[in-house]
C-alpha cells in the first residue's frame, strides 16, 4: 500500500495537490491511503510499502515550519517520492539548504540518466518558490541552476520539484512499481 502524505494546510487545496495523485493511483488499481502529515502514526508507517509526499500551494509553507513531524523519514527504509514541497522536505531532512527558486508554468528539463522511467527532455509543470540542495542526493535533472529531480545516494528516496500529477503521471505509476 502507498501512503499519500498530504502537506496542504488548507484542506480545500487537497483538490489541486492530492486528489490528482489519488486519481492516478485509482486509475491504475494501486492501493493507497491518504493522511495529513500531522496525523501520521507509527502503526500507519509500518503498514505502508511506499510513501508519496504531496505538493502544496505557493503560499502554503506550513510543512517547512513543522519539520519535526517528518523525523520518521530518516529511519524509513521504504521508497519515498517527494513532490515539490515533499522534495523540499526530503532535502531538508538530509542537511539540505533551501534556495530561492521561483517558477510557475511549463518548463523543459533534461534527465541525463533514467529516473523513474524518464530519460531525456521532458516538459513539466512547475509551481514553487524554493528548491533544496543537499550533498546526500544525486541530481538527475537540473534547470535554472537548481535541482529538479533528485535521488538519495543510499536510500530509495526520490524527489521532483515539478508536479508529475499534472503532466507526467507515468512518474507516479513507475514509482508505485518499485
**Which residue numbers are catalytic?**
84, 163, 165
Cell of 70: 517528518
Inter-residue contact 56 to 7 (CB < 8 Å): yes
> 2-6 and 32-36: which strand pairing?
parallel
What are residue 142's DSSP bridge partners?
147
Q: How far is CA 98 from CA 9, 133, 141, 149, in A?
A: 20, 7, 17, 15
Q: How many residues does the chain have?
A: 178
Q: How far is CA 9 from CA 53, 56, 91, 112, in A?
A: 13, 8, 20, 35
Amino acid at each position: 500500500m502507498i501512503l499519500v502524505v498530504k502537506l496542504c494546510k488548507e484542506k480545500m487545496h487537497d483538490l489541486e495537490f492530492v486528489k490528482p495523485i489519488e486519481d492516478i493511483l485509482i486509475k491504475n488499481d494501486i492501493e493507497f491511503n491518504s493522511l495529513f502529515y500531522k496525523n501520521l502514526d507509527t502503526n500507519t508507517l509500518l503498514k505502508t510499502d511506499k510513501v508519496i509526499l504531496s505538493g502544496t500551494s505557493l503560499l502554503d509553507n506550513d510543512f517547512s515550519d513543522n519539520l519535526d513531524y517528518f523525523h520518521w523519514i530518516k529511519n524509513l527504509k521504504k521508497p519515498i517520492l517527494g513532490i515539490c514541497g515533499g522534495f523540499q522536505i526530503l532535502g531538508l531532512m538530509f542537511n539540505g539548504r533551501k534556495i530561492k527558486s521561483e517558477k510557475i508554468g511549463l518548463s523543459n528539463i533534461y534527465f541525463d540518466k533514467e529516473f523513474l522511467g524518464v530519460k531525456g527532455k521532458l516538459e513539466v509543470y512547475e509551481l514553487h518558490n524554493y528548491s533544496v540542495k543537499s550533498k546526500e542526493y544525486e541530481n538527475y535533472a537540473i534547470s535554472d541552476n537548481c535541482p529538479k529531480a533528485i535521488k538519495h545516494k543510499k536510500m530509495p528516496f526520490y524527489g521532483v520539484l515539478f508536479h508529475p500529477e499534472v503532466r507526467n503521471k507515468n512518474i507516479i505509476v513507475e514509482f508505485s512499481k518499485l
